[in-house]
Amino acid sequence: MILQFDTHTFDTSQPIDISIPLTNTDANPIAWYLEQPVIEPVRFGDWVGKVAAGSSTNFNNIHFNPHGHGTHTECLGHITRDFYSINQCLQTFFFRAELISIAPEKHAGDSIITQNQLEKALAGNTPEAVVIRTLPNLASKKHQNYSHTNPPYLAAEAAHYLREIGVKHLLIDLPSVDREEDGGALAAHKAFWNVNDIQQLNADARLDCTITELIFVPDTVPDGSYLLNLQIASFENDASPSKPVLYALQP
Protein backbone atom coordinates (compact mmCIF):
# COMPACT_ATOMS: atom_id res chain seq x y z
CA MET A 1 0.00 0.00 0.00
CA ILE A 2 1.27 3.49 -0.89
CA LEU A 3 0.65 6.11 1.81
CA GLN A 4 1.66 9.74 2.25
CA PHE A 5 3.83 11.26 4.98
CA ASP A 6 4.31 15.03 4.86
CA THR A 7 5.00 15.71 1.16
CA HIS A 8 6.41 12.22 0.52
CA THR A 9 4.94 8.81 -0.13
CA PHE A 10 6.11 5.46 1.22
CA ASP A 11 5.30 1.85 0.44
CA THR A 12 4.05 -0.15 3.43
CA SER A 13 4.92 -3.39 1.61
CA GLN A 14 8.65 -2.50 1.71
CA PRO A 15 9.61 -2.32 5.43
CA ILE A 16 13.27 -2.24 6.45
CA ASP A 17 13.50 -3.93 9.84
CA ILE A 18 16.60 -2.69 11.70
CA SER A 19 16.02 -4.70 14.89
CA ILE A 20 17.98 -7.77 15.97
CA PRO A 21 15.85 -10.82 16.88
CA LEU A 22 16.07 -12.19 20.40
CA THR A 23 17.02 -15.88 20.59
CA ASN A 24 18.21 -18.31 23.25
CA THR A 25 21.30 -19.30 21.25
CA ASP A 26 24.83 -18.07 20.74
CA ALA A 27 23.47 -16.06 17.79
CA ASN A 28 22.06 -13.54 20.25
CA PRO A 29 24.10 -10.37 20.90
CA ILE A 30 25.11 -9.84 24.53
CA ALA A 31 26.29 -6.82 26.49
CA TRP A 32 26.84 -5.86 30.12
CA TYR A 33 28.33 -9.18 31.25
CA LEU A 34 25.13 -11.19 30.92
CA GLU A 35 24.56 -14.75 29.77
CA GLN A 36 22.35 -15.48 26.77
CA PRO A 37 18.55 -15.18 27.13
CA VAL A 38 16.54 -18.18 28.28
CA ILE A 39 13.45 -19.31 26.37
CA GLU A 40 12.05 -22.56 27.74
CA PRO A 41 8.74 -24.35 28.26
CA VAL A 42 6.77 -23.96 31.47
CA ARG A 43 6.91 -27.09 33.62
CA PHE A 44 4.28 -28.18 36.15
CA GLY A 45 5.39 -31.50 37.57
CA ASP A 46 5.43 -33.92 34.62
CA TRP A 47 3.64 -31.47 32.32
CA VAL A 48 5.84 -29.60 29.82
CA GLY A 49 4.45 -26.71 27.76
CA LYS A 50 5.71 -27.99 24.44
CA VAL A 51 3.72 -29.66 21.67
CA ALA A 52 6.67 -31.89 20.80
CA ALA A 53 6.61 -33.13 24.40
CA GLY A 54 2.90 -33.97 24.30
CA SER A 55 1.25 -30.67 25.26
CA SER A 56 -1.57 -29.13 23.21
CA THR A 57 0.31 -25.80 23.07
CA ASN A 58 3.76 -24.30 23.15
CA PHE A 59 3.89 -22.30 26.38
CA ASN A 60 7.28 -20.67 27.03
CA ASN A 61 8.78 -18.51 29.72
CA ILE A 62 11.30 -15.95 28.50
CA HIS A 63 14.05 -14.50 30.70
CA PHE A 64 16.02 -11.63 29.19
CA ASN A 65 17.35 -8.14 29.86
CA PRO A 66 16.24 -5.44 27.39
CA HIS A 67 19.46 -3.45 27.75
CA GLY A 68 21.82 -6.36 27.23
CA HIS A 69 20.07 -8.81 24.94
CA GLY A 70 19.14 -7.01 21.75
CA THR A 71 17.44 -4.03 20.18
CA HIS A 72 15.81 -1.89 22.84
CA THR A 73 14.41 1.60 23.29
CA GLU A 74 14.90 3.48 26.54
CA CYS A 75 13.68 6.70 28.12
CA LEU A 76 15.38 8.98 30.65
CA GLY A 77 14.07 6.70 33.40
CA HIS A 78 17.13 4.61 32.60
CA ILE A 79 19.31 7.06 34.55
CA THR A 80 16.99 8.78 37.05
CA ARG A 81 16.21 8.06 40.70
CA ASP A 82 12.49 8.46 40.11
CA PHE A 83 10.66 5.99 37.89
CA TYR A 84 9.81 6.92 34.30
CA SER A 85 8.39 4.37 31.89
CA ILE A 86 9.17 4.08 28.19
CA ASN A 87 5.54 3.07 27.71
CA GLN A 88 4.44 6.46 29.06
CA CYS A 89 7.21 8.60 27.56
CA LEU A 90 6.87 7.33 23.98
CA GLN A 91 3.37 8.23 22.85
CA THR A 92 3.78 8.66 19.06
CA PHE A 93 5.52 6.21 16.78
CA PHE A 94 6.19 7.67 13.31
CA PHE A 95 9.07 10.08 12.70
CA ARG A 96 11.09 11.60 9.90
CA ALA A 97 14.52 9.98 10.22
CA GLU A 98 17.95 10.46 8.71
CA LEU A 99 20.22 7.42 8.34
CA ILE A 100 23.91 8.29 8.49
CA SER A 101 27.06 6.13 8.42
CA ILE A 102 30.07 7.09 10.55
CA ALA A 103 33.45 5.49 11.21
CA PRO A 104 34.26 6.37 14.85
CA GLU A 105 37.53 8.22 15.40
CA LYS A 106 40.36 6.98 17.59
CA HIS A 107 40.97 9.05 20.73
CA ALA A 108 43.29 7.83 23.50
CA GLY A 109 42.57 4.21 22.75
CA ASP A 110 38.80 4.65 22.44
CA SER A 111 36.64 4.83 19.31
CA ILE A 112 34.35 7.85 19.51
CA ILE A 113 31.64 9.45 17.36
CA THR A 114 32.27 13.19 17.46
CA GLN A 115 30.12 16.26 17.00
CA ASN A 116 32.10 17.22 13.90
CA GLN A 117 31.33 13.86 12.31
CA LEU A 118 27.62 14.25 13.03
CA GLU A 119 27.56 17.77 11.61
CA LYS A 120 29.21 16.61 8.38
CA ALA A 121 26.97 13.56 8.02
CA LEU A 122 23.73 15.45 8.66
CA ALA A 123 24.78 18.32 6.37
CA GLY A 124 22.28 20.77 7.83
CA ASN A 125 19.37 18.31 8.15
CA THR A 126 17.42 18.50 11.42
CA PRO A 127 15.25 15.36 11.51
CA GLU A 128 13.17 14.12 14.41
CA ALA A 129 15.22 10.91 14.49
CA VAL A 130 18.81 10.05 13.64
CA VAL A 131 19.87 6.49 12.87
CA ILE A 132 23.64 5.92 13.18
CA ARG A 133 25.28 3.02 11.37
CA THR A 134 28.89 2.65 12.50
CA LEU A 135 31.64 1.57 10.12
CA PRO A 136 32.90 -1.00 9.46
CA ASN A 137 29.40 -2.47 9.37
CA LEU A 138 30.24 -6.09 10.13
CA ALA A 139 27.50 -8.74 10.17
CA SER A 140 29.03 -9.98 13.44
CA LYS A 141 27.30 -7.04 15.18
CA LYS A 142 24.16 -9.16 15.16
CA HIS A 143 25.82 -11.88 17.26
CA GLN A 144 28.62 -10.15 19.15
CA ASN A 145 29.39 -10.44 22.84
CA TYR A 146 30.27 -6.83 23.66
CA SER A 147 31.17 -7.41 27.30
CA HIS A 148 34.70 -6.24 28.21
CA THR A 149 35.38 -5.01 24.64
CA ASN A 150 35.13 -1.20 25.12
CA PRO A 151 32.91 -0.66 22.04
CA PRO A 152 32.72 2.72 20.26
CA TYR A 153 30.48 5.35 21.82
CA LEU A 154 29.15 8.87 21.40
CA ALA A 155 31.03 11.90 22.69
CA ALA A 156 28.97 13.94 25.17
CA GLU A 157 29.24 17.05 22.98
CA ALA A 158 27.91 15.02 20.04
CA ALA A 159 24.84 14.01 22.07
CA HIS A 160 24.42 17.64 23.15
CA TYR A 161 24.57 18.72 19.50
CA LEU A 162 21.78 16.29 18.56
CA ARG A 163 19.67 17.71 21.39
CA GLU A 164 20.35 21.28 20.26
CA ILE A 165 19.22 20.64 16.67
CA GLY A 166 15.98 19.06 17.91
CA VAL A 167 16.63 15.34 17.41
CA LYS A 168 14.18 13.52 19.68
CA HIS A 169 14.98 9.90 18.88
CA LEU A 170 18.51 8.56 18.58
CA LEU A 171 19.14 5.06 17.21
CA ILE A 172 22.57 3.42 17.12
CA ASP A 173 24.05 -0.01 16.38
CA LEU A 174 26.10 -0.12 19.58
CA PRO A 175 25.27 -1.45 23.07
CA SER A 176 25.37 2.08 24.51
CA VAL A 177 25.82 5.70 23.54
CA ASP A 178 28.28 5.88 26.45
CA ARG A 179 31.59 4.18 27.23
CA GLU A 180 31.28 0.64 28.58
CA GLU A 181 33.10 1.60 31.78
CA ASP A 182 32.89 5.31 32.60
CA GLY A 183 32.52 5.30 36.38
CA GLY A 184 28.78 5.94 36.09
CA ALA A 185 29.17 9.26 34.28
CA LEU A 186 26.71 8.44 31.48
CA ALA A 187 27.62 11.77 29.90
CA ALA A 188 26.02 11.17 26.49
CA HIS A 189 22.77 9.87 27.97
CA LYS A 190 22.54 12.92 30.23
CA ALA A 191 23.41 15.35 27.44
CA PHE A 192 20.81 13.94 25.06
CA TRP A 193 18.01 13.84 27.64
CA ASN A 194 19.12 17.11 29.26
CA VAL A 195 19.31 15.49 32.67
CA ASN A 196 21.39 17.63 35.00
CA ASP A 197 20.78 15.74 38.23
CA ILE A 198 19.68 12.10 38.41
CA GLN A 199 18.30 12.73 41.92
CA GLN A 200 16.11 15.72 41.01
CA LEU A 201 14.83 15.96 37.45
CA ASN A 202 15.12 19.45 35.95
CA ALA A 203 12.01 21.01 34.42
CA ASP A 204 13.41 21.01 30.87
CA ALA A 205 14.53 17.36 30.86
CA ARG A 206 13.38 15.62 27.68
CA LEU A 207 10.73 13.18 28.82
CA ASP A 208 9.45 12.43 25.31
CA CYS A 209 12.84 11.58 23.79
CA THR A 210 14.31 8.11 23.38
CA ILE A 211 17.55 6.27 22.74
CA THR A 212 17.47 2.97 20.85
CA GLU A 213 20.57 0.77 21.00
CA LEU A 214 21.77 -2.48 19.40
CA ILE A 215 20.10 -2.00 16.02
CA PHE A 216 21.57 -3.34 12.77
CA VAL A 217 21.26 -1.57 9.41
CA PRO A 218 22.31 -3.70 6.41
CA ASP A 219 24.77 -2.27 3.90
CA THR A 220 22.09 -2.53 1.23
CA VAL A 221 20.19 0.35 2.88
CA PRO A 222 21.63 3.68 1.65
CA ASP A 223 22.13 6.73 3.82
CA GLY A 224 19.35 9.26 3.49
CA SER A 225 15.85 10.20 4.62
CA TYR A 226 13.31 7.64 5.82
CA LEU A 227 10.07 7.30 7.72
CA LEU A 228 10.75 5.58 11.04
CA ASN A 229 8.14 3.46 12.79
CA LEU A 230 9.48 2.98 16.32
CA GLN A 231 7.63 0.02 17.82
CA ILE A 232 7.93 -1.05 21.46
CA ALA A 233 6.28 -3.62 23.68
CA SER A 234 4.02 -2.14 26.36
CA PHE A 235 6.45 -2.58 29.25
CA GLU A 236 6.10 -0.27 32.25
CA ASN A 237 9.87 -0.12 32.55
CA ASP A 238 12.66 2.30 31.70
CA ALA A 239 13.30 0.29 28.52
CA SER A 240 11.51 -2.13 26.22
CA PRO A 241 12.61 -4.51 23.51
CA SER A 242 11.80 -2.70 20.29
CA LYS A 243 11.37 -3.11 16.55
CA PRO A 244 12.36 0.02 14.66
CA VAL A 245 11.30 -0.15 11.02
CA LEU A 246 12.35 2.21 8.23
CA TYR A 247 10.42 3.04 5.06
CA ALA A 248 12.09 4.70 2.09
CA LEU A 249 10.51 8.06 1.30
CA GLN A 250 9.61 8.86 -2.29
CA PRO A 251 9.11 12.42 -3.66
Closest CA to 216 of 23, 11, 29: 29
Task: Give the pLDDT of residue 246.
Answer: 98
Q: How confident is the model at residue 74 (pLDDT cuts 50, 70, 90)?
A: very high
Coil, helix or strand for 119?
helix
Q: How confident is the model at residue 5 (pLDDT cuts 50, 70, 90)?
A: confident
- pLDDT tens sequence across 187-227: 999 999 999 988 888 989 999 999 999 999 999 999 999 99
Enter the DSSP assignment of 89. H
Domains of the chain: 2-23+66-248 (3.50.30.50)
Closest CA to 86 of 225, 184, 187, 212: 212
Evaluate if residue 6 carries a pLDDT over 90. no
